[in-house]
């Protein structure tokens, strides 16, 4: 559930800047299918030393080994450290880049690397249009696409790239917006 790309009514979930009367309705992440390229790259990075180190240790020049075992061992340790850093950064990027939908707001949290985060929010009643699209063969087969949210606020458009079932996301946002606008009209 914690690693899901679509979490409805999450328990004990909040964010910085949430109002006291605000309830988180949905937490959305990019589709798990979007992780496949960097997971494959990580597997390749893990496997490269397994096949490459014996080859490197076998390189000789004028009958002598060019790379000493100690140096190759240290280089391999650095390689695996870089591989872990690559994996960790990609995972954190996927895990923490979320779209939070509450009973009052839409909050887009974007983390770039480990040192930069950008949080944008808009009130649901500011949302004017929600568009979803699916492109490409992979997107069509796995029903993964993008959701674009137009607002009347200063930040004109929110983008949620790589969403599972973008039509469903579009519909639930529109339903919450209509409910919010209807509620505000009666008060």
User: pLDDT tens digit string along 2-48?
Assistant: 789 999 999 888 888 888 899 999 999 999 999 999 999 999 999 99
Other CB atoms within a 10 A radius of the CB of residue 116 amount to 8
Q: Which tokens go with 118? A: 């950008």
Give the residue from 15, 1, 10 showing the smallest Cα distance to 120. Answer: 15
Interatomic CA distance for residues 144 and 147, integer angstroms: 10
Round the average pLDDT of the chain to a whole number and report it: 90
Identify the domain boundary among 47, 67, 91: 91
The DSSP line for 133-182 is E--HHHHHHHTEEEEEEEESSSS-EEEEEEEESHHHHHHHHHHHHHHHHH
Q: For residues 75 and 167, state if they share a domain.
A: no
Residue 1 resides in a domain: no
Instruction: Please tell me the total count of domains within the chain.
Output: 2
Q: For residues 53 and 67, state if they share a domain.
A: yes
pTM here?
Answer: 0.84
């Amino acid at each position: 559930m914690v690693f899901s790309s679509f979490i409805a009514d999450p328990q004990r979930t909040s964010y910085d800047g949430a109002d006291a009367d605000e309830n988180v309705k949905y937490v959305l992440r990019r589709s798990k299918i979007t992780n496949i390229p960097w997971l494959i790259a990580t597997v390749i990075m893990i496997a490269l030393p397994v096949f490459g180190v014996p080859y490197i240790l076998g390189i000789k020049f004028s009958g002598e080994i060019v790379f000493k075992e100690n140096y190759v061992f240290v280089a391999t340790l650095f390689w695996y450290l870089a591989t872990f850093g690559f994996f960790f950064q990609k995972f954190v990027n996927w895990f923490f880049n979320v779209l939070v939908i509450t009973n009052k707001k839409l909050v887009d949290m974007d983390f770039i690397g480990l040192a930069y985060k950008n949080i944008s929010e808009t009130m649901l009643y500011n949302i004017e249009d929600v568009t979803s699209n699916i492109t490409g063969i992979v997107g069509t087969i796995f029903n993964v696409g993008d959701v674009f949210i137009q607002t009347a606020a200063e930040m004109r458009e929110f983008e949620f790239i790589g969403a599972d079932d973008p039509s469903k996301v579009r519909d639930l946002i529109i339903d919450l917006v209509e409910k919010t606008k209807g509620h505000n009209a009666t008060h």
